[in-house]
């Protein structure tokens, strides 16, 4: 068992087999730097719980492909990324910090899926982007690169 500590001082015990999916922690363990508790100053307990949930589920991922359990994992993954933008970005940051490749791919894919087919207006609203371009500047961008705005207008709804 490996102990992880979130930035709000909560400790979590995780099986080594699960936690070594994080390249960062794997390296720490290999270098013998993971003797007691591993502090994670960038991750709060709420996010860490999510990450651990993922790690525990994916513990035997290589094996799952052989035994036909991929569907089960796929279903889990679909449910897992069913979260708000804030939470998703927190998990992305954590996955990036801990260097968990699969989790990073899953979450970035989900972020991209949410943006696909969306109009500029919808993307701004979803991501709370303040438009600091004036109308003239916007028009100028469109005039400079009309090719970039070809095609039918896209989905204007948020979500």
Partner 1 sequence: MDRLSELPEPIQLHILSFLPMRYVVRTVILCKHWQRLWTNVQELYFSTEGFFPYEKYLAFVNRALICRGTCKIRRLRIELYLNALSPKDYEGWISYAATNNVEDLFLEFDTYYYEWLPPQCLYCNSSLKTLKLWGCRFVPDMQIRWNTLTKLSLWFSVLRNESFREIMVGAPKLEFFELFSCWGYNNLTFDSPCLRTVNVCEYETIDYENDEHDHGPILRISAPNVRSLQLTGALYRKCVLMNVSSVVHATLDFRPYIKPFREEKLKWQKENLMELGRSLKHVESLTLGIWCIEVLAQRERRRIPPQISTNKCATLNIHMKEEDLLGIVNLLKGSPNLQTLIIDMEPKFWEEPRVPDLTDSENFCIDNVANYVASQAEHVKCLLHHLKTVKITQFVEQHSVLPFVEFILKKGRVLENLVIIAKRGLDENSEEYLRIVKRWGFYEEENSPKSLLKVAQRLLSIPRASSRAVITLRSRYTL
Residues that bind partner 1 (CB under 8 A): 66-69, 71-72, 75, 85-86, 89, 92-93, 96, 104, 108-109, 111-113, 115-118, 120, 123-124, 127-133, 138, 141-142, 145, 147-152, 154
In the complex, the smallest distance separating the C-beta of residue 138 from partner 1, rounded to whole angstroms, is 6
In the complex, the smallest distance separating the C-beta of residue 83 from partner 1, rounded to whole angstroms, is 13
Q: In terms of CB distance, is 52 or 111 closer to partner 1?
A: 111
* Nearby residues of 39 by Cβ (< 8 Å), 6 or more positions away: 5
In the complex, the smallest distance separating the C-beta of residue 32 from partner 1, rounded to whole angstroms, is 29
């Amino acid at each position: 068992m490996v102990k992880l500590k979130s930035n709000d001082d909560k400790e979590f015990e995780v099986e080594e087999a699960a936690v070594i999916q994080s390249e960062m922690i794997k390296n720490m363990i290999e270098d013998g730097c993971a003797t007691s508790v591993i502090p994670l100053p960038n991750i709060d307990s709420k996010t860490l719980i999510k990450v651990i949930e993922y790690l525990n589920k994916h513990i035997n991922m290589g094996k799952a492909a052989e035994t036909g359990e991929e569907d089960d994992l796929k279903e889990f993954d679909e449910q897992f990324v069913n979260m708000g933008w804030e939470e998703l970005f927190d998990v992305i940051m954590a996955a990036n910090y801990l260097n968990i490749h699969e989790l990073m791919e899953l979450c970035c894919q989900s972020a991209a899926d949410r943006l696909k087919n969306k109009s500029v207006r919808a993307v701004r609203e979803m991501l709370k982007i303040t438009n600091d371009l004036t109308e003239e500047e916007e028009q100028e961008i469109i005039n400079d690169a009309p090719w970039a705005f070809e095609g039918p207008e896209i989905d204007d709804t948020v979500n």
